Homo-oligomer: A and B are copies of this chain.
């Protein structure tokens, strides 16, 4: 008998029929003799409807109160799912964030979980109940309702699994698992049986949006096995787990991409200590997230500094940077908002040489110009012109032999 946490997203509970299906799946797991905790999101569309109401009242609604409104979406789902389970003859009990409690900090609309008490859920499980937990929501130490930000239910589920020392946290979604790349771009993209937390972090943050990054961080920190799988079939999905559990690792696990990038270059910046801080502080003050930063070695006392921002922040970032460039005596600022980032990710990259070379050669062979490069221990990212995105993903996927051999 295992303790299994199952998380179902908004599309999996989007209608009364789908809620019934979720109830059936949870009940089947219970019938197999397991303890079952189900974590659910708001019915699809509901969170947007609620936020829409708030935004009719204020352009920037009070965030404490926005969380009071937004958190009702999940509360409706847990009540409905518990009703469905009870109607099927199972014992079930719903839990709001405040009832568990899920303690968070007080950063409304983007709170972080500080601690989850497992006792109330455990008591319900001991009574033979299926516990139904509201994702996305928590409570701060003043008793105010908080929410974890978009996709927060993944984090709720993994955090609950960690608190209960669950055997596995199953994340049900509308895809079968984690693929070597976007199947819409490469028809032969292969589903990964297992992937390490570290690789998943890189893939998630790079745009393979299967799991919220925070949930992977939580899983890694507390060693929660995460099973990403489809709510529409019974196929095994992808297990996200510790590297040690993965017997044989490919050098490269996957190819990720992100299209919504923009690149800004400050030309001929005087290369003095503290110059980077001077440039990036105004950007962070303006709430602009800077992603890739590339700075060449200076040989002349001047350097070119390139960085990327989200495309929606591009105009604001150009304005801010233009001002800073003047102040620090740089020559000029040039930008391009038609940029994509293509990345390859793999744990075994650390011990394999020649991976980077292969990436560059592969792109060069197709005439794709590399506009910037950044690397981590398990990742190589290249900035390219946006129009080459699909081509770059396909040739890299093929070059590293990631495709499904049967279908390839």
Contacts and interface: CB of A to CB of B under 8 A. Distances in A.
Interface of A: 16, 19-20, 50, 53-54, 56-58, 61-62, 64-69, 71-72, 75-76, 78-80, 82-84, 86-87, 92-94, 96, 98-99, 120, 143-145
Given A68-B78, A69-B76, A75-B69, A83 B54 contact: yes
A79 B58 contact: no
A221 B87 CA distance: 40
A198 to B, nearest CB: 39
Contacts of A80: 53-54, 57, 65, 69
B75 A68 contact: yes
A96 B72 CA distance: 11
Q: Residue among A69, A75, A84, A145 with the most chain B CB within 10 A?
A: A69
B145 A96 contact: yes
Copies of this chain held together in the complex: 2
Given A16-B53, A53-B80, A86 B58 contact: yes
A65 B144 CA distance: 22
A53 B79 CA distance: 10
B53 A65 contact: no
Nearest to A84: B57
Nearest to A132: B65
B79 A16 contact: no
A86 B60 CA distance: 10
B79 A66 contact: yes
A25 B145 CA distance: 26
A239 to B, nearest CB: 33
Contacts of A54: 79-80, 83
Contacts of A56: 16
